[in-house]
Amino acid sequence: MNSEKINELVSQMTITEKLGQLTQLAPFFLGMDPTMDLTGPMNEMNLKPEWIKEVGSTLNGFGARELKALQDRHMANSRLGIPLLFMADIVHGYKTGFPIPLAMGSSFEPALYERACEISAKEGAASGIHLTFAPMTDLVRDPRWGRVMESTGEDAYLNSVMTQAAVRGYQGQNPRDKGRLASCVKHFAAYGAPWGGRDYNTVDQSEGMLREYYLPAYKAAVDAGVAMVMTSFNTVKRVPASANKWLMRDVLREEWGFEGPVISDYAAVDETITHGIAADSAEAARKCLEAGTDIEMMSSHYLVNGEALVSEGKLDIAIIDEAVRRVLELKNALGLFENPYKDADEAWEAELLNHPEHKRAAYEIAIECPVLLKNEGVLPLNNLKPEDKLKIGVAGPFTGTDRVMGSWAVNRESGDRSLIQALRNQMPQAEFITAMTGELGPLQADITDVPDEIDAAVERLRDCDVIIAAVGENSEDTGESASKTILRLSGNQERMIHALHGLGKPVVAVLFCGRPMEIGPILADCDAVLQGWFLGDASGAALADLLIGKANPSGRLTMSIPVSVGQIPVHYNAFRTGRPYRGLHERYVSRYLDCDNEPLFPFGYGLSYSEFAYSDFMVEKTGNSDGVLAKARISVTNISNVPGKETVQLYIHDVAAQVVRPVKELKGFRKLELQPGETAVVSFEITKEMLSYWNEEREFCFEPGAFDIMLGRSSADVESTRIWIG
């Protein structure tokens, strides 16, 4: 169907049919659950029964058979034969559960993120889904906010690279192709910066901060051809995003050239009334439509008020037509007018369930995500003594649980994700003793701790050679509406680690969590700490292989881990301030009296069982050849006898500019795999774009001047040189 055909279709539609295309309701409204009494929900949303057949899309209905049947019922009642669009939250896997995005960011391997999204798309498409509400690309600097688990971290450049990989993974060359989904980037914009880390709270950023840090990853999605954009719940420039004309029309459409539909987040149009930007339902509908929010998710203000707004001259019908065209163009791009089921296929869906290739991919991705934070020679376990003489204690609430999927996991079925089972499988000759293994319930259910079985655990594990403490937070306490002010382990988990350390045996902490946690209180009592995240279906196998040395940790932090919640936000690319703290005993400088300024573990940090040496660091100017202003290179050598991976990171600092610049900014990275004794030379091209910034004239500019060019293994461990670039 070409654009003329779409325009012709729009011209044939009644205004109710048009407004229906701009409305998204849950599948039970459309009869997916025939046993449900819709009287209450429909009355609450002021919906007329005859409107339901006009609704254009639905969310989070799953299953090829069910969605094909739903599409059949809809098409039978659609006067113009316009198919439904099936959307869903497929964030980090569908039938196959992959690591949470924050963990996948820690791999520093965009190709792995792309692979996970490609498999998720295939499984979702076979189950009847057309579009996924992913990736979430919000920049995050506050781990109190539960949704940090959906982002790839605190850095705009890394988020942009990972976002483009995700869009490619879901959509491929064309989302119409078999096994592909349309992708919807979210949440536009700056949802990851709520005051106090409290979900849905106010966001207040200067335009310069928005432009340089919070907007780039969304633009990266647009540049990658993302099909849809979702608005955020928060305010931007004191206007809720769904009613923000500057954000949607000026930036997204005029500046960036985005032509696809924009959808509100869940009931966000309704929330403009609560925000106080709209006095009533009619004003909410008018302001959001005029701002450019094309589809209203799970509220009915467009349907209820649209016709009256047009007839009373308060809303131009051209705005509605424009939005409808975008929706129909997306349906057409997906091929739904020719095949409204797209890829829904019960046989293919069944074939992909537990597919061995997908399970293997889940493991290969999960193995790259954990970050080794500390190791005083206790890891890998297979170096301690012969396996048949090794006695290993495993304690804590994540010893045997399979609840390691993380928030937003579609597949919550039980699986072989247990750490203790994987360890037993990999070390059949070793003796394992478990203790204090009761699972940690969610704070959402007012469960604050595990039972105190510490004394019994100490007695059971007294004779072990090494003790693994499998600790963390309940996965339900991450994700949406899961903000926390205390990021420490629960009291009994901390006390358990202290008591086990008192046995004089090596203690290895494995952290299961969806955010950076405040682990300073246990750090001294642990001989090794592995940041395990929530790794999905391959959690047990990946962590076991890393612990025993079958695999070598290579993950790097994409969010800094604070010493204390009181430091937050504590991110690597901060401004220096006029009175920077330089480590001296001074009073009138920017410092805390009771805590370091620096994080406990910085962005980009991660240990390995290998050891790498850096040498021959050099930066040379190139005279603006093909847009390249300089080149930086460094040699990296594996000086250990263990093959391993090292992530070389490029940072840049603009010494003096019209506005203050961060102390450093990530501008590139390379992940190397080196054999013992092997050396690789890593080089980076430095372009004008890397050195440009948003100035006080509200434009991106490059200024000649002095720049610090840094290469190294983390944001806090770099070699640096200063050059003048004109």
Domain of 517 in residue numbering reads as 353-567
Domain termination site, one of 567, 599, 620: 567
Asked if the model's pLDDT at residue 34 lies above 90, the reply is: no
pLDDT over 90 for what percent of the chain?
91
Whether residues 271 and 413 fall in one domain = no
Say how many domains are in the chain. Answer: 3
Q: pLDDT band for 39, please (50, 70, 90 cuts).
A: low
Does a structural domain hold residue 410? Answer: yes
Q: What is the mean pLDDT of residues 690-695?
A: 94
Task: Give 14's contacts (C-beta < 8 A, 6+ positions apart).
Answer: none
pLDDT, residue 1, reads 79
CATH of the domain at 563: 3.40.50.1700
For the whole model, what pTM was predicted?
0.96
Whether residues 534 and 650 fall in one domain = no
Domain termination site, one of 299, 321, 352: 352
Quick one: 441 exposed, middle or buried, by C-beta within 10 A (0-12, 13-18, 19+)? middle
216 upstream amide cis, omega within 30 of 0: no
From residue 665, give the alpha-carbon distance in Å to each of 147, 661, 692. Answer: 23, 9, 12
CATH of the domain at 325: 3.20.20.300
Q: pLDDT band for 415, please (50, 70, 90 cuts).
A: low
CATH of the domain at 665: 2.60.40.10
Q: pLDDT band for 697, please (50, 70, 90 cuts).
A: confident
Does a structural domain hold residue 575? Answer: no
Please give the positions annotated as active site.
Answer: 265
Q: pLDDT band for 40, please (50, 70, 90 cuts).
A: confident
Whether residues 560 and 697 fall in one domain = no
Does a structural domain hold residue 313? Answer: yes
Asked if the model's pLDDT at residue 414 lies above 60, the reply is: no
Whether residues 359 and 330 fall in one domain = no
Asked if the model's pLDDT at residue 20 lies above 60, the reply is: yes
Domain termination site, one of 294, 319, 352: 352
Whether residues 319 and 358 fall in one domain = no
Whether residues 393 and 412 fall in one domain = yes
What confidence tens digit (pLDDT) does each residue in 502-548 have?
Answer: 999 999 999 999 999 999 999 999 999 999 999 999 999 999 999 99
Does a structural domain hold residue 186? Answer: no
Whether residues 560 and 454 fall in one domain = yes
Whether residues 476 and 410 fall in one domain = yes
Return d(Cα 409, Cα 509) in angstroms, integer. 25
Whether residues 364 and 464 fall in one domain = yes
Does a structural domain hold residue 576? Answer: no
Return d(Cα 162, Cα 167) in angstroms, integer. 9
What confidence tens digit (pLDDT) does each residue in 239-284 have?
Answer: 999 999 999 999 999 999 999 999 999 999 999 999 999 999 999 9
Return d(Cα 138, Cα 156) in angstroms, integer. 9
What confidence tens digit (pLDDT) does each residue in 340-374 have?
Answer: 999 999 999 999 988 999 999 999 999 999 999 99
Asked if the model's pLDDT at residue 36 lies above 80, the reply is: no
Does a structural domain hold residue 117? Answer: no
Two tokens at 564?
A: 């204390």
Does a structural domain hold residue 47? Answer: yes
* Weakest mean pLDDT among 1-5, 331-335, 688-692: 1-5
Whether residues 458 and 543 fall in one domain = yes
SS3 680: strand
**9, containing H or E segment:** helix 3-12
pLDDT, residue 351, reads 95
Whether residues 447 and 562 fall in one domain = yes
Q: What are phi and psi of 587, to 5 degrees?
A: -95, -50
Whether residues 327 and 369 fall in one domain = no
Q: pLDDT band for 31, please (50, 70, 90 cuts).
A: confident
Q: What is the mean pLDDT of residues 597-618?
A: 98
pLDDT, residue 459, reads 98
